[in-house]
């Protein structure tokens, strides 16, 4: 059962990582929207994600649904604890999601939907960062229930992680734009990627410094005994990737900036996983405390093992259909 | 225990958000099937009319699908934010069912929707048709899992309650619980029926105004064939579903009938004002023996009354009673519409019968009203339980979330969804007014090379 709990946590971690990377870049497109040089650039940017955004967001449903599947008690503790940021994220996702369908039908109200896309993406990204910080800093649990108030999640740390995720998603969006566009838009995206890359690194550093200070257990995990040795490559790898990111932007690579940004996210994600394990809700709830009954886990894992590889295959296929540069004419201009 | 008002607010909020959501899948499940039909016709006959019909309706599909996605994501988290106790207790049963829905349906729909909408010039016609089929199949699979989950809450089996939560003994029994086949059929047919009426209504609008007749005629005709088959089938399935409910949830049926006393020769009330406090009806207008005849096929058949259980175990009668009658009335109106269409077709004036087109036009939204009414019957009729006979609604709500927080988000949902629905209708009307793209296959405005290679030799050169 312990192994099943770890495998289940792995499935959820995978879904969340997929979500963060995939929806990260299309939320990032939204965060960058008002700063784009012109309306044509905005068309190209939104067209570059229009065929895939829905699939990207499905990983969020798998992450939340997965928690209900494998750790129903954790789901029932965390969501009431984070009621306000979760609801704010949901409202924000509504505003940006409907933009894809409404904006291209709009003529006079395009600006309204541009704004809805920007604020929706910005607030969703910020709230996701807040949720991350609120989880890492710990949740007050008694028995099988949340025992805190409505505002426990709101701390300087969670605000910092919120800002960090906004910068990080912005970086993913900017490097995705470098990959999917050409000319003026691409040049502008390079500049944006440099600024947001800097911001992301500052935020990552600040979070990395503050996290071990939250609880002695986290400091012990990173600096205790041989762990220091085993984990020491993590910061160096991060630094190397950061250097590669800037180098690839300045040497005008097209795909490398996006891939190195994704690499930074994977490393950050790994760092958080190291800090939390084996807690699913720090500081007191471990994965095996709240794992679902065996009959549920086995049934669900069989489904995951059979279906998830197929999902990944046709997701890659769907992306490959829309490979190449996006333009202001493709996408919705054609779908009419 | 949370104060009672937090529970009521959470129920109102969930009723509102899930009722708003179900409008869109109701259309996309049915429309997915019609799009498969349109594209198949185009591929088989090469007749461009079917292609244009597809391109016109796929826009409405996309608009509605997007609304379904954003309002659906809300639900997947709202179960935890507002119903945390329910999540913990039923998670081991319902979690995997919802998980399978995400894995086998949501990803499939999302993965191929992009190709369906934007892929005409990127993939060949056969692959595009496959994408349409997979999206349609995805909507059906989604209905399968979520209705299995819902039906289990109505007629639970295959799981044992241990240590404060359910543990599944048999997944087969959980999924194929007694009410599931009926609910799945009834809801799937409701989707197709609703869509058929929408297609008939909008095509009728074009015929009335002598616009876009070339696409309105085949769509109008297709919709009326569907209506003729589906409307009577739905009435039959509804009756079967009702008998199944009588067996497993007798108090829901008692509320639908407005029947307070268990008795034989029970009348069917056409009109009544149920009074829960007095445990009786006012202003009854009834068909003698009607209820006994419908439910037991015999005037002496004994039908259950609400007073078999204490008042705190009775569902709210008024909502269930009236929602049931609204659904029933619309179901029979659909039957009338279908028969009228068949009569007009028989006389050869299907496309000229102005009154039929007007009737179809005013009925356009009726399927949604009937579907919502049906859901009100089944969901409110399940009260005061979330898992029928096992978990009370009052035991399901999040204990730490304050009434203020639920009230605030409820108001926000009302405002945001209200605005969203207005925008949806605005753009829907805009699409309908604009009508189908007049361009032929092979003429794609800014992208003349679009759908290049679709049926080589059949591509009509630009004029």
User: How far does chain B reach from its first CA to its final CA, in angstroms?
Assistant: 73
The pLDDT value given to residue A221: 86
User: What is the number of CB-based contacts under 8 A between chain A and chain B?
Assistant: 244
Contact A321 B167 (CB under 8 A): no
Q: What is the CA radius of gyration of chain A?
A: 20
Beta bridge partners of B168: B159
The pLDDT value given to residue B462: 35
The pLDDT value given to residue A216: 86
Longest dimension (CA), chain A: 64
Helix (H, G, I), strand (E, B) or coil at B137: helix
DSSP of B185-253, one letter per residue?
Answer: HHHHHHHHHHHHHHHHHHHHHHHHTT-SHHHHHHHHHHHHHHHHHHHHHHHHHHHHHHHHHHHH-HHHH
Helix (H, G, I), strand (E, B) or coil at B130: helix
The pLDDT value given to residue B1: 46
Residue A335 placed within a domain: no
The alpha-carbon gap from A262 to the nearest alpha carbon of chain B, in Å, equals: 21
Residues of chain B contacting A322 with CB distance shorter than 8 Å: 114, 118-119, 122
Residue A217 placed within a domain: yes
Residues of chain B contacting A73 with CB distance shorter than 8 Å: 88, 91, 165
Residue A139 placed within a domain: yes
Helix (H), strand (E), coil (C) string for chain A? CHHHHHHHHHHHHHHHHHHHHHHHHHHHHHHHHHHCCCHHHHHHHHHHHCCCHHHHHHHHHHHHHHHHHHCHHHHHHHHHHCHHHHHHHHHHHHHHHHHHHHHCCCCCCHHHHHHHHHHHHHHHHHHHHHHHHHHHHCCCEECCEECCCCCCCCCHHHHHHHHHHHHHHHHHHHHHHHHHCCHHHHHHHHHHHHHHHHHHHHHHHHHHHHHHHHCHHHHHHHHCCCHHHHHCHHHHHHHHHHHHHHHHHHCCCCCHHHHHHHHHHHHHHHHHHHHHCCEEECCCEEHHHHCCCHHHHHHHHHHHHHHHHHHHHHHHHHHHHCCCCCCCCCCHHHHC
The pLDDT value given to residue B461: 34
Contact B450 A300 (CB under 8 A): no
**CB proximity list for B369: less than 8 A, separation 6 or greater:** B326, B330
Domains contained in chain A, number: 1
Q: Which residues of chain B have pLDDT under 70?
A: 1-4, 438-463
Residue A334 placed within a domain: no
Question: ipTM score of the complex?
Answer: 0.89
d(CA A138, CA A133): 9
C-alpha distances out from residue B1 to A143, A151, A152, B315, Å: 16, 20, 21, 21
d(CA A108, CA A131): 36
Reported as a single tens digit per residue, the pLDDT across A165-223 is 999 999 999 999 999 998 899 999 999 999 999 999 999 999 999 988 888 888 888 88
Q: What is the CA radius of gyration of chain B?
A: 24
Contact A78 B118 (CB under 8 A): no
Minimal Cβ distance to A97: which of B69, B77, B108: B69
What pTM, to 2 d.p., does this model score?
Answer: 0.90
Residues of chain B contacting A61 with CB distance shorter than 8 Å: 72-73, 76, 102, 106
Q: Which residue of A has its CA nearest to B82?
A: A80
The pLDDT value given to residue A107: 77
Q: Which residues of chain A have pLDDT under 50?
A: 332-336
The pLDDT value given to residue B453: 30
Q: With contact defined as beta carbons under 8 Å apart, do B62 and B427 qualify?
A: no
Give the range of the structural domain holding residue A138, as residue numbers without chain letter. Answer: 2-328
Q: Residue B91, CB half-sphere, CA atoms under 13 Å: how many?
A: 34
Reported as a single tens digit per residue, the pLDDT across A124-178 is 999 999 999 999 999 999 988 999 889 999 999 999 999 999 999 999 999 999 9
Residue A66 placed within a domain: yes
The pLDDT value given to residue B188: 96
The pLDDT value given to residue A334: 44
Residue A333 placed within a domain: no
The alpha-carbon gap from B166 to the nearest alpha carbon of chain A, in Å, equals: 9
Distance of alpha carbon B410 from its chain centroid, rounded? 23
The pLDDT value given to residue A67: 92
């Amino acid at each position: 059962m312990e192994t099943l709990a770890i495998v289940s946590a792995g499935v959820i971690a995978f879904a969340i990582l997929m979500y963060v990377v995939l929806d990260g870049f299309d939320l990032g497109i939204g965060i960058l929207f008002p700063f784009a040089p012109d309306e044509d650039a905005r068309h190209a940017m939104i067209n570059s994600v229009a065929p895939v955004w829905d699939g990207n967001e499905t990983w969020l449903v798998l992450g939340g649904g997965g928690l209900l599947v494998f750790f129903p008690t954790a789901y029932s503790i965390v969501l009431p604890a984070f009621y306000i940021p979760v609801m704010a994220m949901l409202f924000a996702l509504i505003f940006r999601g409907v933009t894809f369908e409404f904006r291209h039908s709009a003529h006079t109200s395009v600006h309204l939907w541009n704004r809805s896309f920007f604020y929706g993406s910005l607030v969703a990204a910020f709230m996701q960062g807040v949720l991350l910080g609120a989880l890492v800093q710990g949740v007050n649990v008694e028995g099988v229930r949340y025992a805190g108030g409505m505002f426990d999640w709101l701390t300087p740390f969670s605000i910092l992680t919120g800002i960090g995720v906004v910068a990080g998603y912005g970086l993913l969006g900017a490097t995705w734009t470098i990959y999917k566009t050409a000319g003026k838009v691409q040049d502008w995206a390079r500049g944006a990627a440099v600024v947001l890359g800097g911001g992301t690194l500052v935020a990552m550093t600040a979070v990395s410094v503050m996290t071990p200070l939250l609880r002695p257990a986290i400091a012990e995990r990173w600096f205790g005994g041989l762990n220091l040795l085993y984990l020491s490559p993590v910061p160096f790898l991060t630094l190397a990737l950061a250097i590669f990111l800037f180098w690839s932007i300045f040497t005008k690579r097209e795909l490398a900036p996006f891939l190195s940004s994704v690499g930074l996210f994977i490393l950050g994600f790994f760092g958080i996983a190291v800090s939390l394990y084996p807690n699913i809700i720090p500081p007191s709830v471990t994965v095996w405390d709240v794992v679902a009954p065996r009959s549920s886990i086995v049934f669900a894992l069989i489904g995951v093992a059979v279906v998830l590889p197929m999902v990944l295959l046709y997701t890659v296929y769907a992306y490959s259909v829309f490979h190449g540069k996006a333009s202001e004419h493709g996408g919705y201009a054609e779908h009419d | 225990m949370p104060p009672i008002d937090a529970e009521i607010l959470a129920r109102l909020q969930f009723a509102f958000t899930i009722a708003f959501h179900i409008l869109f899948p109701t259309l996309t499940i049915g429309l997915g099937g019609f799009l498969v039909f349109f594209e198949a016709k185009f591929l088989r006959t090469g007749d461009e009319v079917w292609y244009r019909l597809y391109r016109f309706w796929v826009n409405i599909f996309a608009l509605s699908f997007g609304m379904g996605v954003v309002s659906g994501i809300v639900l997947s988290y709202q179960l935890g934010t507002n119903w945390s106790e329910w999540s913990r207790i039923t998670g081991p049963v319902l979690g995997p069912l919802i998980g399978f829905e995400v894995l086998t349906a949501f990803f499939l729909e999302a993965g191929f929707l992009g190709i369906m909408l934007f892929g005409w010039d990127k993939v060949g016609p056969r692959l595009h048709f496959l994408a349409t089929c997979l999206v349609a199949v995805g909507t059906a699979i989604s209905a399968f899992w979520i209705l299995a989950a819902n039906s289990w809450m109505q007629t639970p089996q295959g799981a044992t309650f241990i240590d404060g939560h359910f543990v599944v003994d048999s997944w087969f029994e959980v999924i194929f619980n007694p009410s599931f086949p009926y609910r799945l059929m009834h809801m799937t047919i409701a989707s197709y029926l609703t869509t058929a009426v929408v297609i008939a209504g909008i095509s009728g609008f074009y015929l009335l105004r002598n616009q876009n007749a070339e696409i309105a005629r085949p769509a109008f005709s297709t919709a009326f064939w569907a209506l003729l088959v589906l409307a009577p089938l739905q009435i039959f399935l509804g009756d079967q579903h009702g008998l199944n409910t009588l067996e497993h949830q007798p108090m829901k049926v008692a509320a639908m009938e407005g029947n307070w006393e268990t008795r034989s020769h029970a009348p069917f009330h056409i009109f009544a004002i149920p009074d829960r406090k007095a445990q009786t009806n006012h202003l009854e207008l009834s068909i003698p023996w009607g209820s006994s005849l419908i439910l037991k096929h015999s005037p002496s058949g004994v039908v259950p009354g609400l007073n078999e259980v204490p008042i705190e175990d009775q569902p709210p009668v008024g909502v269930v009673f009236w929602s049931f009658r609204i659904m029933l009335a619309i179901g029979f109106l659909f039957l009338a519409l279908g028969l009228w269409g068949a009569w007009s077709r028989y006389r050869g004036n299907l496309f000229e019968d102005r009154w039929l087109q007007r009737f179809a036009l005013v009925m356009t939204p009726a399927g949604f009203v009937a579907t919502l009414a049906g859901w009100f019957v089944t969901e409110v009729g399940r009260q005061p339980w979330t898992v029928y006979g096992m978990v009370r609604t009052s035991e399901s709500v999040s204990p730490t979330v304050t009434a203020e927080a639920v009230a605030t988000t409820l108001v926000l949902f009302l405002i945001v969804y209200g605005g969203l629905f207005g925008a949806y209708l605005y753009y829907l009307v805009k699409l309908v007014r604009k009508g189908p793209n007049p361009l032929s296959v092979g003429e794609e405005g800014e992208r003349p090379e679009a759908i290049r290679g679709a049926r080589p030799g059949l591509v009509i050169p630009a004029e």
